[in-house]
Structure 1
């Protein structure tokens, strides 16, 4: 732990430089990481075959490594110093207006840039609740807890009790965080298009909004070049999500796509977003008799 804290004190530009090297080492390591990254990126339609795709892939590899190394300063530096890494925000006034109107706030944070900064920034200002699934490694679990549960942040389990805690927080007109681009567990999602391919998408945001009338916002933490820090971008979800689960999931995925198109190299393309959860029928499978 001492060594990790020592590394966390290195300047962010240097850490991001180390991250670029790490990104390439991981890319060339055995496993399906690099194949999945290429397939997801190239099939997204965000680049044209040839030079554009190769350039975007190179950028993505470097940004992926940065996303790993930057967890050290984000989780281990003193809280006040971490908050100073946020160099600016765009659209945060929409969140302030929703709170002033007495609404709960749903922060929809895709895996873009340094998304870990979002809850820390919010929790420095207002109460914030997010779900948390402990990793298998005890050391990583301790790091994650210490890094995320600061300020007015509260972590809750990824089960029914956690959902109830999120609902209660919104009814108190507080803020909660949702990762919209994770594969839902069986029974908790629906198939909806994501960059032209079916993805099993969580339905939690629509359910919570319908029950509480909360305002929802897409928030992305852009990683600035040359280790200059981060800029938070807030995009309001202008209209309430449809009651139909599939339509609501499609709208969420559309919103995520719009944010990804702004920062394509900073998205987590290596994640298996289109996998089929156990016990879930594929979208083209006929219903059981």
Structure 2
């Protein structure tokens, strides 16, 4: 597999995206479970099948672009071009001196958001630390560990040590990034509405803000058509987390719900690039699923 990844990384992005589109449709056609989950999640969100249809091919492009993004020499800038908007929001957040927490849903190319920040902002604000879940297969774990660590970009495993690493980064005034719509292990989340259905939602983002005073921002990497590159968008987090003084359990639920609402708005604006096949409503091992009406 490493040999295949190295071979694919040499091809231009337009070729990899052209290869990924039929792969996405092939997965959709051959997996009844994936197809049912895709359709159910789209319906739960109230998105029309026509609006979400393009996401089938985008899921394939998500896979085939990884060798290009992971194995591209760190000395090279991102090619094709990556445009960035919202840097003024990022600069204003850093001016507060408490660090920045970027929230990125499973939408578009979430790998490129951290790379774009690292190339443009790490020289003045330090590296960005991204949270990731270590792969189970040894060959993939080694590839992910080495490819996600590059100049201006550090990786933190989804463990207690990784959380401490992120807290230290924020206290230095640096940035961290995580995917808040990723289902956390039991004990690291709460049940909160996501498109009107209870979803086990991580509490880490709100806890990072509570402990460090960091600023929450939203970020996502739009995949442009025909392999023309990416557009990375940074925007303010307009919802309110639970205020100080609220009981801990209530605060966790309110903050998780606020973060989910922010994710919902982003996804509804760009449903064609959301990973609808992701098992967002699964129950973590050991957790008790809530009673649904």
TM-score scaled by length of structure 2: 0.89
Residue 14 of structure 1 corresponds to: 15
Alpha carbons 2:130, 2:154 under 8 Å: kept: yes
Alpha carbons 1:74, 1:116 under 8 Å: kept: yes
1:54-65 paired onto structure 2 within 5 Å:
55-65=50-60
Matched, 1:89 2:97: no
Residue 237 of structure 1 corresponds to: 237
CA distance in 1: counterparts of 2:271 and 2:81, whole angstroms? 20
Residue 46 of structure 2 corresponds to: 45
Q: CA deviation at 1:166?
A: 1.0
Aligned residue pairs total: 279
More deviation, 160-169/275-284: 275-284
Residue 175 of structure 2 corresponds to: 175
1:76-115 paired onto structure 2 within 5 Å:
76-115=71-110
Q: CA deviation at 1:35?
A: 1.4
Q: CA deviation at 1:183?
A: 1.2
CA distance in 2: counterparts of 1:252 and 1:147, whole angstroms? 29
Residue 50 of structure 1 corresponds to: none
Alpha carbons 1:107, 1:217 under 8 Å: kept: yes
1:1-289 paired onto structure 2 within 5 Å:
1-30=2-31, 32-47=33-48, 53=49, 55-124=50-119, 125-126=121-122, 127-238=127-238, 241-243=241-243, 244-284=251-291
Q: CA deviation at 1:28?
A: 1.7
Alpha carbons 2:190, 2:203 under 8 Å: kept: yes
Q: Identify unmatched segments of 5+ residues in structure 1.
A: 48-52
Q: CA deviation at 1:6?
A: 2.7
TM-score scaled by length of structure 1: 0.90
